[in-house]
Every structure is written in structure tokens, then in C-alpha cells.
């Protein structure tokens, strides 16, 4: 879809406000498409409430949590906590996108609809974790308080275009993280719930990815630079969670989310869809950003190959130990 807006000025003077206005029609189109394909679902239908029992506190029959009560694997518990704490920060995410995208017109309708859909994810995950006793509820609440009390500021809050580029990748990263957590959890109920959440995240990714494609058509140089910056400096929104680095390392080894997954299943699909390396008509800054993006992806692939080797060696050592 091509947008011609000569009254907005030349591409050299694009501002966030001008880009927001220029993309409004695309946002409306994508919002209508999203509403047609998105399916409403009930969080309570995915939660095994019959497994629930009281915790200590006000109830005399309360039973303290113990690891043996959890049906999920160790990596499943770690990933579930990281994934839920990431979802918990929805108030901060809403504030950021409402500030960047506005609350009026199609942009505003999308902001509120997205927030409502994301709210389900935190609701169903928390209910599942408590009902099934999958994780330590006291530690979960302590982590939530610590994480949310710190607040959240996106690395891309300075630019609407950078923010659109970021969420195009981040929504896919979240989808992959939820799906792989479900696969590695060892609990079919957990897997089914996270599969439902992942479906939402994929639709959110498609919305932002298509918006990014339209941005390339009206401001290719700026969009290429934004994509370059976001890909090179990408961080998951949960990076501020207490103990995140250790949890991320365990999730990498557990094949929930690691360099290979990030390269193959998150960055590459979006870049391929955008045909990023085939975009022409770029100015000097756009060409430089395109070249740097290509070099970075090559380097990341090499780093992922090293990680693959280390992971394979670790699996071999563990298999050898198990054989003795």
C-alpha cells in the first residue's frame, strides 16, 4: 500500500506527529483486520480450579507450597515466572504506547484493545500458577512487587518509529517464549494455556509488522535506521526482573529462548517478510543502516552457532553421566 502525503513535507522532515498522521489509515485497516480474525476467549476456561486449595494465612486448612506439588519442570517454573512478571508490567506498557501513539482515532482504539487482550494473559497465567501450585506464590508476589516498583522505561520511548519496529519483533519473541515454555513445561494444561496466549501474541506481531512495512513505503531511510537500531540493541521487556540474567541463562539451556531461537524464529521471519535486504531507493543513511543490519545478522548467526555447539556438548555430557 502506497501513501502519498505531499502536504506533510519531504521525508527529511518526518516527525513522530507526521508519521502518526500518515500511518493512521494503515492503523485503521490493520485494526479492522485484527478485530475480524481475533477470537474472544475466557481465561477461566483454561485454569484447573479443581486442583486448587488454600494457602496458609487466614485459612486454618491452608497448606504451604512445596516444590513437589508442582507439575511443571524446573525450566518451566523459571520461564513461567519470567513470562508472568513480564505480562504483569502491562500498566507501564500501556502508559508508554498511549503516550507514543495517542488515545484518539484508530491509534487510540488499538492501544486500548491491545491492552485489554494483553490483560487476559496475566490473568490466566496467574490463576493457573496459583490453582495448580506450579510456582512458589510468596516468591512470585515478592518478585512482582520488586519488578513493578522499579517501573519500566522502554529503550525506544524516544521514537514512535523505533517503538513500532521494536514491538514487531518483541511480540513475536513473546509468542515464541510462551510456546516453548508450554512445550518444556511437562504439563499439558500449561501447554494448552500458553498456546492460546501465543495465538494472541502472533496477531499482535502481524499488526505491528504490517505497520512497519507501511512505514518503509513512506519513510524508508528512517525506518531502516529504526530497524537497525532495534535489532542491534534488542532486549526483552522483562530484563529488569530480579535475577533475570540467571533465569535467561537457564531458559537458554532449556531451549525456551536462546540465541539460535532469537535469530531463526524471531528476527529472521520479520526481516524476511519485510524483504529488508532487497529494499532499494535508500539514501546514504538508509544504505548504511541496511549494510550494518546485514553484518549484524551474520555475526549473530555465528554466535548462535557457537551456542549450538556448547549446548550439544552439554547434552552429550549429561547423556554420558546418565548412562553410568
pLDDT tens by residue, 279-289: 988 999 999 99
Q: What is the CA radius of gyration of the chain?
A: 21
The reply to whether 68 sits in an annotated binding site is: no
Domain ranges of the chain: 20-50+63-318
The reply to whether 87 sits in an annotated binding site is: yes
pLDDT value for 260? 93
Average pLDDT over every residue of 159-174: 93
The reply to whether 178 sits in an annotated binding site is: no
Could you give the CA distance from residue 300 to residue 233 in angstroms, rounded to a whole number? 12
CATH 3.30.497.10 fits 20-50+63-318, yes or no: no
User: Tell me, what DSSP letter sits at residue 241?
Assistant: S
Give Cα separations from 179 to 8, 190, 229, 296, 319 (angstroms).
Answer: 42, 10, 27, 26, 26
Say if residues 211 and 205 touch (Cβ distance below 8 Å): no
pLDDT band (50, 70, 90) for residue 4: very low
Backbone phi and psi for residue 15, each to the nearest 5 degrees, phi listed first = -120, 170
The reply to whether 118 sits in an annotated binding site is: yes
The reply to whether 201 sits in an annotated binding site is: yes
If one compares 125 and 103, the residue with the highest pLDDT of the two is: 125
Q: How many helices (H) and strands (E) does the chain have?
A: 12, 0
Amino acid at each position: 500500500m502506497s501513501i502519498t502525503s505531499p502536504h506533510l513535507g519531504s521525508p527529511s522532515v518526518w516527525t513522530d506527529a507526521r508519521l502518526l498522521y500518515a500511518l493512521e489509515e494503515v492503523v485503521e485497516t490493520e485494526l479492522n483486520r485484527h478485530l475480524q480474525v481475533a477470537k474472544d476467549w475466557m481465561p477461566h476456561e483454561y485454569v484447573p480450579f479443581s486442583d486448587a486449595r488454600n494457602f496458609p494465612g487466614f485459612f486454618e486448612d491452608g497448606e504451604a507450597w512445596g516444590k513437589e506439588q508442582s507439575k511443571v519442570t524446573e525450566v518451566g517454573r523459571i520461564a513461567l515466572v519470567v513470562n508472568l512478571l513480564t505480562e504483569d508490567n502491562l500498566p507501564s506498557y500501556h502508559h508508554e504506547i498511549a503516550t507514543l501513539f495517542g488515545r484518539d482515532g484508530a491509534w487510540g482504539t488499538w492501544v486500548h484493545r491491545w491492552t485489554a487482550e494483553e490483560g487476559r494473559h496475566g490473568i490466566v497465567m496467574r490463576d493457573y500458577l496459583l490453582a495448580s501450585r506450579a510456582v512458589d506464590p510468596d516468591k512470585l508476589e515478592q518478585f512482582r512487587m520488586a519488578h513493578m516498583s522499579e517501573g519500566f522505561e522502554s529503550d525506544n520511548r524516544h521514537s514512535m518509529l523505533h517503538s513500532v519496529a521494536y514491538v514487531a519483533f518483541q511480540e513475536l519473541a513473546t509468542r515464541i517464549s510462551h510456546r516453548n515454555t508450554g512445550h518444556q513445561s511437562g504439563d499439558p494444561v500449561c501447554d494448552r494455556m500458553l498456546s492460546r496466549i501465543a495465538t494472541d501474541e502472533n496477531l499482535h506481531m502481524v499488526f505491528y509488522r504490517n505497520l512497519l512495512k507501511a512505514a518503509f513505503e513512506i519513510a524508508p531511510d528512517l525506518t531502516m535506521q529504526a530497524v537497525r537500531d532495534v535489532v542491534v540493541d534488542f532486549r526483552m521487556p522483562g530484563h529488569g526482573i530480579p535475577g533475570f540474567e540467571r533465569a535467561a541463562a537457564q531458559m537458554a539451556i532449556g531451549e525456551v529462548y536462546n540465541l539460535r531461537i532469537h535469530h531463526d524464529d524471531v528476527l529472521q521471519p520479520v526481516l524476511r517478510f519485510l524483504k529488508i535486504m532487497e529494499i532499494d531507493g535508500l539514501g546514504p543513511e538508509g544504505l548504511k543502516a541496511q549494510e550494518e543490519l546485514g553484518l549484524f545478522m551474520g555475526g549473530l548467526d555465528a554466535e548462535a552457532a557457537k551456542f549450538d555447539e556448547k549446548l550439544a556438548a552439554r547434552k552429550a555430557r549429561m547423556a554420558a553421566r546418565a548412562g553410568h
